[in-house]
Amino acid sequence: MESVSLLEVRDLHYRYPDGHAALRGLTFTLAPGERVALIGPNGAGKSTLLLHLNGLLPDRPALNPAVTVDGLPLVEANLPEVRRRVGLLFQDPDDQLFCPTVWEDVAFGPQQLGMREPQLSRVVSDALAQVGLGGFGERLPHHLSRGEKRRVCLAGLLACDARLLVLDEPTSDLDPRGRRELMMLLTHLPVAQLIATHDLEFVVETCPRAIVLDAGRIVADGPSRALLDDEPLMLAHGLERPHILRHRHPH
Amino acid sequence: MLRDRLLSPYQHGSSAVHRLPAGTKLLAAVACAVLIVLLPRSAWWAHAAVAGGLVAVAAVSRADLRGMLLRLLLLEPFVLGIALLALLRPGGVPLFLSMLTKSTLCLATMVLLTATTRFSDLLAVLWRIRVPALLVTTLALMHRYLFVLVEEMERMQRARRSRTFVAGRSSAWRNSAQVAGQLFVRTSERAERVYLAMCARGWKA
Amino acid sequence: MHVPDGFLDARTLVATAAAASVGFGLALRAVRRHLPPRRVPLIGLTAAFVFAAQMLNFPVAAGTSGHLIGAALATVLLGPAAAVVAMTAVLLLQSLMFADGGITALGANVLNLAVIAPLVAHGVYRVVRSAAGVGPQGTLLAAGVAAWCSTLAAALACAAQLAASGVVAWGTVLAAMGGVHMVIGLGEAVITMLIVAVVMRARPELVMPAEPARATARGRTLAYGAALAIGSMVLVAPFASPWPDGLEHVAERFGFASRALAGQPAPLADYTVAPLLDASPWLATVIAGGIGALVAFAVAWFVARALAAPGRAGARH
C-alpha cells in the first residue's frame, strides 16, 4: 500500500546538550506536493525542527524515530536515501555553497549519489535552468548576489531529485526583486515544501497551510489565511497580522 | 579595491593561452621555474631568452601588464635584506644579480600562470594527479571561504574603528586581536555549519 | 620569511622538499587516523582564517606594521597534525596564487613554516603547559612561549638553508635572521596570546579540549616531529661543511687578514661578530637563543597574567 503522507512527524522531542528542551512533542504530516509555512517567534525551535527532517539531528539516530520520510523511518540505514529525498536549504547560503564553482556545487549532491558523465552534466544544467541560472556554471560563488546564491543552493537540491524541500528563512536579506523572483520560483516548483519564515506576507501569497510553533510546541496548524487573520493568536505568539490581510478584510 | 586585486589574480580572457588545458599550463610553469633555477649563473643569454619567452606569452594572453608589473615590484623586505647580505660576500655582485634575476623571472612565470588559469581548474588538476584528497579539499575550502572571511573581517574592523576614539598602538593591537579572535570563533561555527551542509548532501568523510 | 625562487641551490631544494614531504605525509596520516570527520572542514576554514589574519596590521613604529605568521596559533587551535595540513595549504596558495614564496622553494618554505614551526610550537606548548598548569594563565603563557620558539626555529632553519646554499655566510645569516626573529618572535608571541585570550573568553572549549585519551597518539606525533626537526638540521648541516663553502670560508679569512694588515676598516657587523660565529656558529646561536628565550618567557608571563586576570575573565562583548 502506498503511503499517503510524504512526511510524518510523531511526538518529536529534543533536548539540547545542556538539558534545555527545544522540541516538546511535535506531531504533523505533509502530503506530496504540499506547500506549508512554519512560523513562530525567534527561539521557538523552527531551525531545530528543520534539522531533524533529514537526520542531521539528533546526533545519534533514535531506535524508534519520530520522523518518517516517504515511508522510510529515520534510522541510520535510511539516512543516505532520506537525505536525497529531503533537500535542506540553510539560512546562510554561504554555508551551503562550499564548492569552488557553481557547476561543481550543483554537481556535488549527484556525485555523492554516484552519478557520472554524461548524465551528470545534463542533470546540472537542467537544475540550473530550472532556477533561472542557466549559463552560470563557471561563476565563482563570491561573485554572486545573495539571491543568486540561494538559487544555486536550490539547484543543488533539485539536482538530487528531492521530493521535499525544507527551507530556513529563504526570503530574509533579499532585496524586493530577489524576493519576488524566489517566490515565483517556489510557487512553480511541483515539489513539496516546508518553509520556515518570518515573512508573513510571503506566507499569505504562497502557502495554503501554516503551522505555528512556539516554545517547542505546535500551537496551530491549518489554512494560513485563517490563522494569520486571527489577530489574538498572532499576537500571543510573537507574530502579527500581515498588512496584506488588513487591506483585504474591510472590517 | 587593491585587496580584491591581490586576492583574485585571474583575468578572464579567451586568448590561446587561456584556452590551453590547466594541467599543461601548470606543468609548463613549474618546468620553466625549475629551468630558471638550474640555469648556470653565467648564462646571461639563457636568462634573456627565457625573459623574452615570458614577454611573448604575456603578449599573446593579452593580460593587463601594468597589474602584473605592480605585483612583481611587491618584493618583501626580507628578500631585499637577504639579497643585500649576499652582496657582502666575496664575488657577491654576480650572486646578487643572479638571485634577483631568477626570482623575478620565476615570479613572472607564476603571475602569468595565475592570470590565465582559474584556481578551480588548477584544483581539478591536483585532484587528477592524485594529490591527497584532504589537501585538495582543504585548498578548495580555504579558497572558497577566504573572500567570505576577509569581508567579514573588514566589517568587524570598520565597526571597531567606529568605536575607537583614542588612536594609539596599544588600541590598534587590541582591536586587531579582537577582530582576529572573533573571526576565529565565527569561523569555527561556520565550519560546523559547512560540515552539516556537506552531510546533508550525502558527503562521507 | 618566505624564500623566493633562485635563492637556494639545487641540493638544498631537493633535501628540503624531501623532508617537507615526509613531515606532511606523517601529519596527513595522523589526521586521517585521529581527527573526527566533523573537524575536517575546520582545517580548510582555519587555513582561510590564518590567511586572512595575516593581513591584519599590528603597527610597530613609523608606519611599519608587524603581521601574524600564524603557525603557533593554528597549532594551539587545531592541534599539530591538522595545523601542518592547514599551514601547508596556506603556503601552497601563497606560492601558487600570490607569488609569495617561490614555487621551487616550496619544499623549504613548507618545511620551515608548515612542519618545523607547528611541531616546535606543539612541543613547547605541551611542556610549558604541563609545568604552568592547564588553566587560562598556563595556556596563555604556553601559547606565547610556543609562538616565540616556533618563529625562531623556522627562522634558524631558513637561515641554515640559505647558508648551505652559499648565499650568505653561516655566521652572518644565523646572527641576522636569528637576532631579527627573536624580536619578531616577541611580537608573534604577544599577538598569539591576545588572540587566544579572545577565543578563550568566548569559547574556551576551542582552546582547551579535554582529550587525555589521545595522549599516546600525540606523544608519537611529538616524537616524530622532534626527530624530523632534528633530522632536518642534521641533514642540512653536513652540506655546510667542506667543499665550496669551506674553501670560501678560508678565502674570507685570508681576505680579512690581508685587509686588516692594509689598515682598511671592514664592515662592522661582519668583522666583529664573524670570527666568533665562524668558529662555532651553533654555540653562539645557542647562547643568544637562551638569553632570548628567557626574555620571551618573561614577557609572556606578564602578558598572560594581565590577560587572564580574574576581573576580566567574565567580561563578554
What pLDDT is attached to residue C264? 38
Weakest-pLDDT range from A163-177, B108-122, C29-43, C240-254: C240-254
Question: What mean pLDDT comes out for the span C191-204?
Answer: 93
Q: Which CATH architecture has domain A7-248?
A: 3-Layer(aba) Sandwich (3.40)
DSSP percent split of chain C into helix, strand, coil, nearest 5? 80, 0, 20
Q: Is B89 on the interface with C (CB under 8 A)?
A: yes
CB atoms within 10 A of CB B190: 23
Question: What mean pLDDT comes out for the span C57-75?
Answer: 88
Average pLDDT, chain C: 77
Q: Is C259's pLDDT higher than 70?
A: no
Give the three cell numbers for residue A218.
505546535
Task: Give the pLDDT band of residue C172 (cuts 50, 70, 90).
Answer: confident
Domain residue ranges in chain A = 7-248
Please report residues of B whose CB lies closer than 8 A to that of A100.
119-120, 123, 140, 143-144
Q: For the segment C76-128, what is each residue's pLDDT rounded down to a tens digit?
A: 999 999 999 999 999 999 888 877 888 999 999 999 999 999 999 999 999 99
What pLDDT is attached to residue A3? 53
Ranges of residues in chain B with a pLDDT under 70 are 1-7, 65-78, 205
Q: Which residue has the higher pLDDT, A199 or B2?
A: A199
- C77 within 8 A of C53, measured Cβ to Cβ: no
Q: For the segment A144-167, what is each residue's pLDDT rounded down to a tens digit?
A: 998 899 999 999 999 999 999 999
Q: For the segment A165-175, what is each residue's pLDDT rounded down to a tens digit?
A: 999 999 988 88
Task: Give the pLDDT band of residue A206 (cuts 50, 70, 90).
Answer: very high
Contacts of B146 (CB under 8 A, 6+ apart): B7, C48, C51, C52
The Cα–Cα gap between A95 and C304 comes to 35
C-alpha to C-alpha distances, A15 to A28, A65, A90, A216, C157, nearest whole angstrom: 19, 15, 21, 10, 52
- B117 within 8 A of B104, measured Cβ to Cβ: no
Interface of B with C in 177-196 (CB under 8 A): 177-185, 187-188, 190-192, 194-195
Task: Give the pLDDT band of residue C280 (cuts 50, 70, 90).
Answer: low
Domain residue ranges in chain B = 2-124, 132-200
C-alpha to C-alpha distances, C209 to A155, B44, C36, C117, C201, nearest whole angstrom: 38, 57, 13, 21, 14
Q: Identify which of B101, B102, B183 has the shortest CB distance to residue C52.
A: B183
Check CB contact under 8 Å for B119 and A100.
Answer: yes
Q: Is A189 helix (H, G, I), strand (E, B) or coil?
A: coil
Domains along chain C? 10-240+280-313 (1.10.1760.20)
Q: Identify which of B33, B79, B141 has the shortest CB distance to residue C103.
A: B33
Q: Which chains touch C (3 or more CB pairs under 8 A)?
A: B
Q: For the segment C125-146, what is each residue's pLDDT rounded down to a tens digit?
A: 999 988 888 888 889 999 999 9
What pLDDT is attached to residue A222? 94
